[in-house]
Structure 1
Amino acid sequence: MTSFIPSITLPGFIFEQPAASILLPVLLGSGVGFAMQPKETQKTHLALKQPPYRPPPQIFGIMWPILYGLMGFSAYRAWTTGMNTFDAHKTQLAKVRHTAYPNSATLLTGWREQQGATLYTIQLGLNLIWMPLFFKYQRPIEATVDIVALTGVTGYLTYIWGQVDEVAGWALAPYLGWLCFATYLSAGAGYLNDWDFAGKERPAATKTHNTKYVDEKDA
């Protein structure tokens, strides 16, 4: 079981405030997206051979803010429920390893922060580095390893927070489902392009350029 690691965990006040908890991943995710320069990212995206069922690039810009918002809401729900419950089982799932209080009378006061907060911070970091790995540095192997790890951590987090608060667990479910699909897309694109994106680029979509991927043919 993952323990609370202060040095890599977001501070508690972020989880306590719903606005901060929801807006933080939205702003960080949007910031990384803009830093990657969407037009340049689209050049690489359209130049790659893609696996079946890949969505158009515009879908990602719609989906991710929603998923980031749900992620932040789940964090707020799990934190507030775990900090205020008198259910010892939920408290144990929501919070970190007991420090130095062996008896049940001090169980609720002997825990400092949510165990899930560390997992949440780890998955957020893994999420934010995927786009630079995939598009900026064009490292499909590392990007796929990253998203596989991200999906695993998020799956475990969903399991833990779902036991603390059902709403928190369900709020993470769409994000987890999308990560599974994104893992397929990342690995599929890597495999179809021989795990080498170097030099693969085409003009971004304009009125004079088509928006098809390189493996698509005109009808």
Structure 2
Amino acid sequence: MTTYIPSLTLPAFIFENAAASILLPILLGTASGYVITRPDKTKQQYGTFKKPVGSESGAENVRRFPGNPPAWLFGPAWTALYGFTGLSAHLAWTNGANSLSPATSSLAKQGATLYTIQLGLNMLFMPLFFGYNRPVEALVDIVTLTGLNGWLIYVWGQVDQRSGWLLAPYLGWLSFATYLCAGTGYLNDWDLRNNSKPTIEKKD
């Protein structure tokens, strides 16, 4: 059961303003990366990790395996997904918070609390995984984050179906990111600090 907790919920004016609602998660997501290190350093660090790329771990296999996206893809993907979540939040709030139906209004506000909490958990992932090299804690964080967003889709989907559908790609990406986090942690013996040698890709 979800509860609306004003102290754990973003101010209403953010949800009410489409631009603010969309830009906030994008700016926070970008800031969480820069707080740890520059994007180029993060990409280089990501390249040093052993990742779930099949039975082999050679650089050639890393290049061709479709389940191991290139590091440059994460920035644009997260930016687009953050924008979708912000728009979803705006639609759910504006169509539900002031609804004449008490049930709809309640669901919109409960979802706003869930949304705010999941946003905080999202901001923790980069520092945990890349900043402190703590894959176990990062995995707990992203599993919780994924579960919360599944619930959020259910809650806000009852308020505005468009809101629920806009969150679907985000849930899918989080599920894949959970797989990458778990696989990377496992393949590196849950210790990312010892992987300092960069991955060398073979030239064709």
Q: TM-score, normalised by structure 2?
A: 0.87
The alignment-based identity, stated in percent, is 57
Unaligned runs of 5+ in 2: 54-66
Letter in 1 for 2:73: I
Q: Identify the range of structure 1 (29-38 vs 85-94) with the bigger mean alpha-carbon deviation.
A: 85-94
| Residues 43 and 201 of structure 1: CA distance in aligned 2, closer, same or farther (over 3 Å) | farther
Unaligned runs of 5+ in 1: 95-113, 204-208
2:55 matches 1:55:
no
2:97–2:106 Cα contact (<8 Å) kept: no
Deviation (angstroms), 1:91: 2.8
1:80-107: per-residue Cα shift (whole Å, max 9, x none)? 111243344423422xxxxxxxxxxxxx
Q: After TM superposition, list the pairs within 5 Å mapping 1:66-145 onto structure 2.
A: 66-94=80-108, 114-145=109-140
Bigger Rg, which one: 1
2:37 matches 1:42:
no
Alpha-carbon separation, structure 2, partners of 1:5 and 1:93: 12
Aligned partner of 1:156 among 107, 126, 151? 151
Alpha-carbon separation, structure 2, partners of 1:38 and 1:77: 31
2:135–2:192 Cα contact (<8 Å) kept: yes
- Secondary structure class of the residue paired with 1:116: helix
Alpha-carbon separation, structure 2, partners of 1:122 and 1:23: 17
Q: Identify the range of structure 1 (27-36 vs 180-189) with the bigger mean alpha-carbon deviation.
A: 27-36
2:178 matches 1:183:
yes
Alpha-carbon separation, structure 1, partners of 2:49 and 2:19: 38
Alpha-carbon separation, structure 2, partners of 1:69 and 1:137: 27
Alpha-carbon separation, structure 2, partners of 1:202 and 1:19: 42
CA RMSD of aligned residues (A): 1.7
1:43–1:202 Cα contact (<8 Å) kept: no
Alpha-carbon separation, structure 2, partners of 1:189 and 1:82: 40
Match of 2:22? 22
- Secondary structure class of the residue paired with 2:97: helix
Match of 1:170? 165
Deviation (angstroms), 1:218: 6.5
1:162-215: per-residue Cα shift (whole Å, max 9, x none)? 111000000101000100000000000001111011132245xxxxx94x4xxx
Alpha-carbon separation, structure 2, partners of 1:202 and 1:81: 51
Deviation (angstroms), 1:44: 1.9
Aligned partner of 1:198 among 186, 193, 196? 193
More helix by share: 2
2:23–2:83 Cα contact (<8 Å) kept: yes
Q: TM-score, normalised by structure 1?
A: 0.82
